[in-house]
Amino acid sequence: MTPATIAMNNEAVRVGSERLLRQLRAEGLHYRLWVTGTASGSTVHMRIPELAPEMRDRILRVLQGRGVRLDIEDAQIV
């Protein structure tokens, strides 16, 4: 994969992830999301303030099965 192809794939993964999270966002979920990737795959990174285990589980259920790695953590507010 060329760097341009990786960047386009990362953007497609980001847009798709945002769409899948639409319902949770409508319920009040606030988060920071970005995607990194290489020729071997993409990783969706999310940082959520005051992330509860139940919400983490819901997010995982929404985003799993898309062929990407997930990095979902509580946001560290400093």
DSSP conformational letter for 55? H
DSSP conformational letter for 67? S
- Read off the pLDDT of residues 18-74 as tens digits, 9 standing for 90 and up: 999 999 999 999 999 999 999 999 999 999 999 999 999 999 999 999 899 999 999
Helices (H), the chain: 3-20, 22-26, 53-63
What's the pLDDT score for residue 78?
53
Predicted structure pTM score: 0.90
